[in-house]
Structure 1
Amino acid sequence: MSDRVADIVSPITDSVLPLRSTAEEARAAGRVPYVKPTPENSVVLLIDHQIGLMDSTRDYASLATLKANVLGLGQIAKAAGIPVMLSTSNAQWQNGDTLPELKELFPDVPIHRRTGIINCYEDPAFRTAFEELMTSTGRTHVIIAGVTIGTCTAMPTLAMLHDGYQVLPVVDACGAWNPYEADAAIARMVRAGAEPVTVFALGCELQADWKLPIGDAMFGPFTDQLPEYGFVIQNFWNNANQHVVPDPFGNVK
């Protein structure tokens, strides 16, 4: 391997480059604009992640995965400083209350308790608060996840797209009663112009550069709620820095 050319290492002073053209220029050229979600232009809606409704989902082999994704999305929003709205549907009856961990994560965020209206965007109190948030902050991107993708997510997504918002449904922080529901909901949302995303890919898109100040806080959800990645990271740092398990061969310095 002695004849390999030298690697090119980016300077740690480098920052993210902007795109060469604006969204308007891309549209004019017949291209699909990429106006990505950022901590500055987005809000997060967590809809109906209630203990009774969580138990009704059937498309995950384990509800632990769905719960981890929901909490991961909440933690990502908090790490990035993105405003969050919470809502429930008929929590006083069979649907149950919001996940306790979400309530603990956002103690200063009021829960909008809908009492019959299924689509949160069609609920007058929720809509008023949502529009006030969007207007007062100038945000344009709506990141949304609901406990059931065909109703709690798809219905407000279609309505918000109709009214001109850029909507990103977080499909793996949603459940479904069966795979057909998920497939149909995603097809409807995409056809209407939504941009489906997944929790931890979205986290990377929002972070953009791990050197940014929010990097340490953003790293938490990845290690806490994505164990496949967290175990890799923890194992590396345990052996590289902390020497939790001493190396009898002396290879780890």
Structure 2
Amino acid sequence: MHKNVFTPENAAMLLIDHQTGTLSWTKSHDLEAVKKSALDLAKIATAVDMPLVLTSSMEGHVQGPLLPELEEIAPKAFANRVKRAGIVNAMHDENFAQAVRATGRKMLIVAGITTEVCVVFPVLQLLDEGYEVQVVTDASSSFTKIGDDAALRRMEQAGAVIVSTAQIVSELAVDWTTPRGQAVGAVLGMA
């Protein structure tokens, strides 16, 4: 195994602010595709028993609740989601920072809405704290394509690896013929 390979045993998944309101504000990507990718990431994390940390910001306001499908896919993670009261950098919320530390993982897969606000700042901080981070670009979106591109470039220059959902899924499956590979394939409708 290559030392930089993310596995269900060494990585955790962080999904930030995939909320009904925040998603509707974004224009950089196709909204249904972003939603599908985010839900696929939650399904995969659940299927391979990878730690999954969910967070939301100001659910009672225009940001709205987390996508209701997340509760069906990952009921425990949904129930334990960190509800932030408007803190932009989720890592500045002690409950979220503690939930990330509690995974015991130093390799993190991150996606969120919006890339240029709610993803970039915690990712920069996580990199500063010594985490290895992969940012899933097609499970994230921003107000504009220009803003999304700028956020991705900033995170990549700081050391994050920019990936797609398909890359993460394949990396976690490792081998489609194994029980894990088959479980991941089933989530994606490949089995």
Q: Aligned partners of 2:142, 2:127: CA distance in 1, in Å?
A: 21
* Alpha-carbon offset, residue 132 of structure 1: 2.2
Q: Where does structure 1 differ by over 6 angstroms across 4 or more consecutive aligned residues?
A: none
Aligned: 1:145 with 2:111: yes
Q: Aligned partners of 1:114, 1:83: CA distance in 2, in Å?
A: 19
Please list, as runs of the form range in 1=range in 2, the aligned pairs for 1:16-31 lying within 5 A after superposition.
18-19=1-2
Indicate conservation of the 8 Å contact 1:50/1:99, yes or no.
yes
Q: Which protein shows a greater Rg? A: 1
Residue-pair matches, total: 189
* Alpha-carbon offset, residue 67 of structure 1: 1.1
Q: Aligned partners of 1:127, 1:84: CA distance in 2, in Å?
A: 13
Indicate conservation of the 8 Å contact 1:161/1:167, yes or no.
yes
Q: Aligned partners of 2:119, 2:50: CA distance in 1, in Å?
A: 19
* Alpha-carbon offset, residue 54 of structure 1: 0.8
Correspondent of 2:85 among 115, 128, 152: 115
Deviation digits for residues 192-215 of structure 1 (CA, Å, limit 9, x no counterpart): 010111101111011111122112
Q: Aligned partners of 1:145, 1:167: CA distance in 2, in Å?
A: 10
Q: Aligned partners of 1:71, 1:202: CA distance in 2, in Å?
A: 13
Q: Aligned partners of 2:134, 2:39: CA distance in 1, in Å?
A: 17
Aligned: 1:56 with 2:29: no
* Alpha-carbon offset, residue 76 of structure 1: 1.3
Secondary structure of the 1:117 match is coil
Indicate conservation of the 8 Å contact 1:169/1:197, yes or no.
yes
Secondary structure of the 2:69 match is helix
* Alpha-carbon offset, residue 175 of structure 1: 0.9
Correspondent of 1:67 among 19, 35, 51: 35
Deviation digits for residues 32-82 of structure 1 (CA, Å, limit 9, x no counterpart): xx511011000000110000001111012x321111111111111112211
* Alpha-carbon offset, residue 220 of structure 1: 2.7
- Relative to the length of structure 2, the TM-score reads 0.94
* Residue equivalent to 2:7: 38
Indicate conservation of the 8 Å contact 1:200/1:222, yes or no.
no
Unaligned 5+ segments in structure 2 are: none
Q: Aligned partners of 1:145, 1:112: CA distance in 2, in Å?
A: 15
Q: Which amino acid aligns with 1:64?
A: E
Q: Which amino acid aligns with 1:142?
A: L
* Alpha-carbon offset, residue 92 of structure 1: 1.0
Aligned: 1:196 with 2:162: yes
Which one has the bigger strand percentage? 2
**Sequence identity percentage:** 35
* Residue equivalent to 1:77: 45
Q: Aligned partners of 1:221, 1:95: CA distance in 2, in Å?
A: 28
Higher relative contact order (CA 8 A, sep 6+): 2
* Alpha-carbon offset, residue 183 of structure 1: 0.9
Q: Aligned partners of 1:166, 1:63: CA distance in 2, in Å?
A: 27
Unaligned 5+ segments in structure 1 are: 1-17, 20-33, 224-229, 234-253
